[in-house]
Structure 1
């Protein structure tokens, strides 16, 4: 498709298990990275959002892409393949919704860079949108996954904004991992949900409020 921009069960251990049962060795822990191999950050967030929704913790969804379909082929009677489409308007951010009485709005990005996040992965209109959300009392932020060390961070909008302004003035075109580790909150992946990012978001709000005082 061509797309063009217009601009649980309780475990009860057996009593006195046979000595030969593991030869005395402990059962290895489940490898979370292996069990989630092949999933994208979007997949992980969608699953986490479904978990939050089912438990009444938050209502957050991925925004639909505003496409204008131009050309469609029908290789079979029950199948349609979009061959050409345009963005009707520039997309804003990936996710929005309501949590704890607050509007939340965030972008999700992955990078294979090990020491920094390239700002070329986001766009000016997205920065502008997040600022508008923040100015209205909403919570704007970004979730970044560093693929190589497999680390996740919730990035506060002020760090994103200041890094963008620095680039606009001729400074570095990325946010260093050291800057992220200092200002952001790291999210430790788990099982249910895979990315429990709401506690990280609460920490971000606490940091922001303390800085404003």
Structure 2
């Protein structure tokens, strides 16, 4: 069983002769293939934290352990566990005085994102965050074509309601291009989603100013 810290990073034991305080060089290589969206977002969050740009972490999963076996004095194996409560979204934190809350999803589909990848309680949670003036969004990776999109909770609600009313059960790539904000992957950070957050905030402020006129 792999052990992960709250940020999603795997625990790596320190071998004999290796200093615990020895600085490790992080690999943010653009050419490092095979990483999941979670890996990429976690590395991006590490970059943001190290450069004091934002504090965003992966939420711990609320698991209740029921049965544990001890095959050895220093070993424990979890045999049975269950979720105490339904998980909400993957990540939350603070950026430039604003609360961020988002779900990160990836699909190998090249033309659409299936809405079955999102749960209704997550959609409700993001809407509640938005109503409290937080910024809630869906971060989607079309992994087969290496394209990333920011989709606000307002836009997600539109497509979710369309599905509930009998419409299509996915969001097309074209709809992401029109309603979302594309995130161009880079070297460091790999998935610079804060640029999309900035763009979203600017658009919202413009809309508010126009409404007040």
Query: TM-score, normalised to structure 1's length?
Result: 0.81
Match of 1:91 in 2: 87
Instruction: Note closer, same or farther for the CA distance 1:112–1:101 as it changes in structure 2 (3 Å cut).
Output: same
Runs of 5+ consecutive residues of structure 1 not aligned to the other structure: 2-30
Asked if residue 101 in structure 1 is aligned to residue 97 in structure 2, the reply is yes
Asked if residue 199 in structure 1 is aligned to residue 195 in structure 2, the reply is yes
Instruction: Note closer, same or farther for the CA distance 1:194–1:41 as it changes in structure 2 (3 Å cut).
Output: same
Aligned match for 1:57, one of 53, 63, 69: 53
Instruction: Give how far 1:181 is off.
Output: 0.4
Match of 1:174 in 2: 170
Match of 1:113 in 2: 109
Aligned match for 1:125, one of 121, 125, 128: 121
Asked if residue 78 in structure 1 is aligned to residue 74 in structure 2, the reply is yes
> SS where residue 182 of structure 1 aligns?
helix
Instruction: Give how far 1:140 is off.
Output: 0.3
Runs of 5+ consecutive residues of structure 2 not aligned to the other structure: 2-28
Instruction: Give how far 1:94 is off.
Output: 0.2
**Contact 1:184–1:204, Cα closer than 8 Å, also in 2:** no
Instruction: Give how far 1:151 is off.
Output: 0.8
Aligned match for 1:161, one of 149, 157, 163: 157
Deviates more, 1:96-105 or 1:149-158: 149-158
CA RMSD of aligned residues (A): 1.6
- How many residues align structurally? 182
**Contact 2:127–2:154, Cα closer than 8 Å, also in 1:** no
Higher alpha-carbon Rg:
1
Aligned match for 1:138, one of 130, 134, 139: 134
Taking the aligned partners of 1:187 and 1:177, their CA distance within structure 2 comes to 14
Instruction: Note closer, same or farther for the CA distance 1:81–1:38 as it changes in structure 2 (3 Å cut).
Output: farther
Taking the aligned partners of 1:176 and 1:206, their CA distance within structure 2 comes to 25
